[in-house]
Amino acid sequence: MNTQALGQENRLALFSWQLLFARGIAAIAFVIASLLDFSATMTLLIWFFALYVFFDGGYSAMRLAQKGSGACPRVLIAIKAVVGVAAGIAVLILASHGSTLPTLLTVFAWVAIVGVLEGIWVIRNVQNKEMVLIIGSSAYLALAICLQVIFALAPQDGSAVYNWIVIGFSAAFSAAMLGMSWTMRRNLLRADKSQRTVTAH
């Protein structure tokens, strides 16, 4: 199995380079919006996150309904869909009660769980996976740093720290997702080119 499977309609995949690209664009749009209205960072986070995870959950559900086999066990796709929708609902409920820290932890938990699921898929199904994993791991290093900062500084320094943590993580996450998208797209083009070369001979 290689990255070429991403482009085959009869193969199931947990995600695609297009989804990673959309994720990266959404994250950078959030960063820009938050910098333009810093005081509204948490409100923006709630709506950006909820809209994205509902979209992501719907994407996974469509993959689950797709006829096919191979690239990804249906159980991983189902888990990803359920986790996304559940996280979106949880964030909306927590935010309505003014629970900033639980809201952030829910967002980061979604990032961690989805990262593990997608990492498993990459390891099992993607050729030339090293660069994809290296770039992707940078987002989760940023996540670990953010969690440390939250528990070390935020209780004493107030809500502004939460805002900067979210903005900083979102910027790192956007860069990682766009980098992974570009790498997977490049691998796919190389695989297609190799196949055409073999076919021509």
Residues 6+ apart with CB under 8 A from 100: 42, 159, 162
Residue 201 lies in a domain: no
Residue 120 lies in a domain: yes
Distance of CA 185 to the CA centre of its chain: 16
Q: What residues make up the domain containing 49? A: 3-195
Residue 34 lies in a domain: yes
Number of structural domains in the chain: 1
Residue 200 lies in a domain: no
Look at residue 126 and tell me whether its pLDDT is greater than 70. Answer: no
Look at residue 140 and tell me whether its pLDDT is greater than 90. Answer: no
**How confident is the model over 164-178, as pLDDT tens digits?**
888 888 888 888 888
User: Two tokens at 22?
Assistant: 């959309």
Can you tell me the distance from the alpha carbon of 58 to that of 108, in angstroms, rounded to the nearest whole number? 20
Q: What pLDDT is stored for residue 136 in this prediction? A: 58
**How confident is the model over 48-90, as pLDDT tens digits?**
989 988 988 888 877 777 665 555 667 778 888 888 899 999 9
What's the average model confidence in pLDDT over 11-23? 74
pTM confidence score: 0.72
